[in-house]
């Protein structure tokens, strides 16, 4: 089977990326300490760093990357546009406005999280409201509404940044570019991840048909409106969950499904789970690099996803006929 090689490659990368995430970091351990760890006699500080800091962060990164890539794959199929990206929906803009307002007002982390969820929900609700006009629910209206809401949120974000005291700016910029250092509680994101992947998988055949256009999909017996609605809902929820966890990390949702398509995987029953896995791997690796390359300095992970993803994408594009 032609899809077997990339699939096996990605599945092998999952444990490797986790191993890298646990191995690398701002503190390095000696070979002796690692062998002690394998014998179960590691010092407590080492165990704490590996199990309390690095592993949970990798687990969070995997869910976040998987959610974004899944949302990207769904939107690209629905809009039949290779440039579709989770951030087109405008919900991450809403989350940004919420989170940055919280930071500006000096709120606690929990309250900031709450505000960001509120912002994302408000943007999602506005999206739903404006995309249902006369003549029912239409794809182009969803996307235009999303872009408009995103633009409004972008303006508000710029306003907040201009008002913010310089001490707050650093944290805000990290949030906007994506940051996993505060992503300590990943289980809500994992629940959403599993649910969205299951839902998306059940839509796989219909999404294959949707790529051919609405009318053709209908002539092949597919429930077009239902598929569009569920896939949009899944992509929105996935994006919100990812943004809540780690801020607005760009590029994963765009690049991962494309890498897979360029590797010859077009059937959604393979494309969706492999996008989820590939997005997870990419973000685990990007986060590991962002926190260990110039330790103790930490880059925003969004910078690394782009720096890792862009060369691979360009290389594959250049090789395709």
Partner 1 sequence: MLSARQLALKVPGRTLVEQLDFELKQGTCAALLGRNGAGKSSLLLAFAGLRAIDGGAVMLDGIALPPPRERARLIGLLLQDEQDSYWGSVLDYVSLGRLPYAAPIAGVGEEARVLAVRALAALDLIDHQAQSYRSLSGGERQRARIAQLLVQDPQIYLLDEPLTHLDLGHQALVMKLFVGLSRAGRAVVMSLHEPLWAAKACDEALLLYDSGRFLHGPVNEVMTVRNIEALYGCRLETPDAGNRMHFIPA
Of 212, 295, 315, 317, the one binding partner 1 by CB under 8 A: 212
Task: Output DSSP code: residue 50.
Answer: I
Of 130, 182, 223, 229, the one binding partner 1 by CB under 8 A: 223
Of 9, 106, 133, 264, the one binding partner 1 by CB under 8 A: 264
Can you give the length of the chain in residues? 321
Stretch that binds partner 1, among 132-140, 147-155, 184-192, 202-210 (CB under 8 A): 202-210
Q: Nearest distance from residue 144's CB to partner 1, in Å?
A: 18
Q: Nearest distance from residue 290's CB to partner 1, in Å?
A: 31
Stretch that binds partner 1, among 16-24, 142-150, 214-222, 308-316 (CB under 8 A): 214-222
The sign of the torsion formed by the CA atoms of 147, 153, 154, 156 equals positive
Position 222 contacts partner 1 (CB under 8 A): yes
Whether 287 and 182 have beta carbons less than 8 Å apart is answered as no
The sign of the torsion formed by the CA atoms of 257, 125, 138, 146 equals negative
Q: Nearest distance from residue 317's CB to partner 1, in Å?
A: 12
Of 139, 220, 230, 303, the one binding partner 1 by CB under 8 A: 220
Q: Which residue has the tokens 């006369």?
A: 134
Nearest to 191 by CA among 243, 252, 241: 241
Token pair in block for residue 321:
């006929």
Position 82 contacts partner 1 (CB under 8 A): yes
Whether 68 and 253 have beta carbons less than 8 Å apart is answered as yes
| Degrees, nearest 5: CA angle 121-185-276 | 75
4 dihedral zone (left: phi>0; alpha: psi -120 to 50; beta)? alpha
Q: How many helices (H) and strands (E) does the chain have?
A: 15, 2
Stretch that binds partner 1, among 11-19, 45-53, 242-250, 266-274 (CB under 8 A): 266-274
Q: Which residue has the tokens 């959604």?
A: 268
Nearest to 16 by CA among 254, 284, 220: 284
The interface mask with partner 1, positions 233-262, x = CB under 8 A, is ----------------------------x-
Of 5, 47, 80, 170, the one binding partner 1 by CB under 8 A: 80
Of 78, 115, 209, 263, the one binding partner 1 by CB under 8 A: 209
Of 23, 107, 161, 269, the one binding partner 1 by CB under 8 A: 269
Applying the rule CB under 8 A, the residues between 98 and 127 that interact with partner 1 are none
Position 267 contacts partner 1 (CB under 8 A): yes
Binding footprint of partner 1, residue count (CB under 8 A): 28
Task: Output DSSP code: residue 51.
Answer: I
Token pair in block for residue 266:
């077009």
Stretch that binds partner 1, among 125-133, 167-175, 198-206, 287-295 (CB under 8 A): 198-206
Position 81 contacts partner 1 (CB under 8 A): yes
CB neighbours of residue 114 within 10 Å: 16
Task: Output DSSP code: residue 295.
Answer: T
Of 37, 211, 303, 316, the one binding partner 1 by CB under 8 A: 211
Which residues form the interface with partner 1 (CB under 8 A)?
80-82, 201-202, 204-205, 208-209, 211-213, 215-216, 218-223, 261, 264, 266-267, 269-270, 320-321
């Amino acid at each position: 089977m032609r899809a077997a090689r990339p699939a096996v490659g990605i599945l092998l990368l999952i444990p490797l990326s986790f191993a890298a995430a646990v191995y690398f970091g701002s503190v390095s351990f000696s070979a002796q300490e690692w062998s002690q760890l394998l014998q179960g006699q590691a010092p407590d500080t080492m165990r704490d760093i590996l199990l309390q800091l690095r592993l949970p962060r990798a687990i969070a990164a995997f869910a976040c990357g998987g959610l974004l890539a899944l949302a990207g794959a769904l939107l690209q199929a629905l809009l039949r546009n290779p440039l579709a990206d989770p951030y087109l929906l405008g919900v991450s803009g809403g989350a940004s406005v919420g989170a940055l307002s919280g930071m500006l007002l000096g709120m606690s982390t929990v309250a900031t999280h709450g505000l960001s969820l509120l912002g994302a929900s408000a943007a999602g609700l506005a999206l739903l409201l404006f995309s249902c006009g006369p003549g029912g629910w239409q794809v182009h209206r969803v996307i235009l509404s999303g872009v408009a809401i995103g633009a409004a949120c972008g303006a508000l974000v710029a306003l907040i940044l201009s008002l913010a005291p310089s001490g707050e700016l650093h944290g805000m910029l990290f949030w906007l570019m994506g940051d996993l250092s505060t992503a300590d509680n990943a289980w809500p994101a994992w629940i959403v991840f599993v649910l969205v992947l299951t839902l998306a998988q059940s839509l796989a055949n219909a999404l294959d048909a949707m790529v051919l256009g609405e009318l053709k999909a209908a002539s092949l017996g597919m429930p077009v409106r239902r598929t569009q609605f569920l896939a949009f809902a899944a992509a929105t929820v996935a994006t919100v969950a990812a943004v809540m966890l780690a801020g607005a990390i760009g590029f994963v949702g765009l690049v991962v499904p494309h890498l897979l398509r360029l590797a010859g995987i077009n059937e959604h029953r393979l494309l969706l789970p492999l996008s989820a896995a590939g997005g997870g791997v990419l973000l685990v690796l990007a986060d590991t690099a962002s926190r260990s390359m110039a330790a103790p300095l930490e880059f925003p992970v969004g910078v690394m996803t782009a720096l890792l993803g862009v060369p691979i994408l360009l290389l594959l594009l250049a090789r395709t006929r």
